[in-house]
Amino acid sequence: AVDDYLTREEKLAALKRDRSISNTSMNVIVPDAHGDWFNQRDDSFSHFMRMDGKKAKEPAIFKNFSLGVATGRDAWCYNFSKNVLSSNIHRMIDNYERIRLESIKSENFVLTKNPVEISWNSNLEQRLNKNTIIKFDNNALCKSFYRPFIPSNLYFHVDLIARRYQLASIFPNNSAENLVICSSGVDNLVICINQNAKDAGQIALMTDHIADLHFNGDTQCFPRWLPGEQTKGAEGSLDFGESKEMPSGFSQDALPHFQAAYPGKPITEDDLFYYIYGILHSEDYRTGYANNLMKELPRIPRVATYEQFMAFVEAGQELARLHVHFEDVELYTGVKIEFTKIGQPSYRVTQMKWGKIKGKTGNAAKDKTTLIYNDWITVKNIPLEAQEYVVNKKSALDWVVERACVSIDKVSDIVNDFNDYAADMGSERYPLDLFLKVITVSLQTMEIVKGLPKLEIHPLDK
């Protein structure tokens, strides 16, 4: 072991001073009951109720949960333009059907894979071998979230999606209303031991649409409702009715478990859902159980008092409002927008980039108080505090800068243009407004997080 934050040269110098390994101080490391040699878990974590209920012998909060969608062909199945997405899917299906018919007619058929025509994987090859007819389904077009605060369109159909997991029960059709808490998967949490929680990054992000597998790490989606379990009507179609009539995503053990800690006090399933979201944002929780959260999905403690419980509920509700409805929050007005040319400015974006600090290189050279939006527009006086809100290894603002752009897939040559989404939203300046809104989201999120109660565990969970 060496001291933290030493440079390479300092570490080598320390070894040189020791001259021999026999002179080097050693620490005896004994693995714990979990087999952990480093970053050993806090066993008190096991006293809390687990979130995931599948294949578990102990009570759990949610009946079902799911990984985010794994398309196996992102360039084809996602696009910022619904029309472009539809065209791409039509083209791939037409090419598939042509090849399928050729395979029937030819006894010596050999599949030739052209990635510009079709993105092949084992699922699609199996369908070809079984002579499965594939047809375009307009109902499979839906809104989704590819990365944090980056909306997109998705073709969510079993024929062309590699892994839908349990998402068909959570979002069974493109009009299904639901909320999901997306938690970073095991081994993907951005938690740095011995650093502040603000450096660790949030481990949860709520959304009301299908999330990609890498939306928030290896995303695990915990649903408020399970509309796909709704009883089918007489004609075989799903009848959702009011949201309160939908099958709950909670197990029958969940609500009584938390109610038992606060006898006589009212707690609803909605309260519990937002309480969980509040707890997952607690710096005390994320840092205190960092080693556990690296290696297992979250467990949720009961806090010491009902008043603390409701404080986490209220915080969770506010965080959910910000994160789910980020497109509706107010623009941050503290920035200075400079127009670098004379005339009617263009809000079209190709690739935003941060300003540059002279004399520095790499990430250290990025001036995150300044955004070069395009050739016409520069945004200055961006508050550095907004960078504190980190999700899936990057700040929320970094996600907007990186992903709200025009990209061309190197394999298929498919263009994905964020300006198309802006056009669909009816606003050319949507990318700029999104950036300004995410500043608001980031600042208000961190204000709520820093105002959360100290995490005090209820005696029943000790």
State pLDDT tens for residues 389-407: 999 889 999 999 999 999 9
Question: What is the number of alpha carbons within 13 Å of residue 425 lying toward its C-beta?
Answer: 19
Q: In this structure, is residue 348 part of a structural domain?
A: yes
In this structure, the chain runs to a length of: 462
Q: What is the mean pLDDT of the chain?
A: 91
Q: In this structure, is residue 350 part of a structural domain?
A: yes
pLDDT at 24 (0 to 100): 78
On the question of pLDDT at 443 being above 90, the answer is: yes
The domain total for the chain is: 1
Q: Please give the torsion angle defined by the CA atoms of residues 451, 453, 454 and 460, in that order, rounded to the nearest 10 degrees.
A: -160
Percentage with pLDDT > 90 across the chain: 77
Q: In this structure, is residue 143 part of a structural domain?
A: no
> What is the tens place of the pLDDT at every residue in 99-119?
999 999 988 899 999 999 999
Rg (CA), the chain: 25
Domain that holds residue 403: 336-450
Evaluate if pTM is beyond 0.85. yes
> What is the tens place of the pLDDT at every residue in 19-31?
888 877 788 888 9
Q: In this structure, is residue 375 part of a structural domain?
A: yes
Q: How far is CA 359 from CA 112, 354, 365, 369, in A?
A: 51, 15, 8, 17
> What is the tens place of the pLDDT at every residue in 176-220?
899 999 998 665 444 444 344 344 478 999 999 999 999 998 899
pLDDT at 111 (0 to 100): 94
Q: In this structure, is residue 214 part of a structural domain?
A: no
Q: In this structure, is residue 230 part of a structural domain?
A: no
Query: What average pLDDT score do residues 235-242 get?
Result: 41
Q: In this structure, is residue 81 part of a structural domain?
A: no
Which pLDDT band holds residue 230 (cuts at 50, 70, 90)?
Answer: low
Q: How far is CA 54 from CA 58, 61, 69, 180, 251, in A?
A: 10, 10, 18, 17, 11
Q: In this structure, is residue 221 part of a structural domain?
A: no
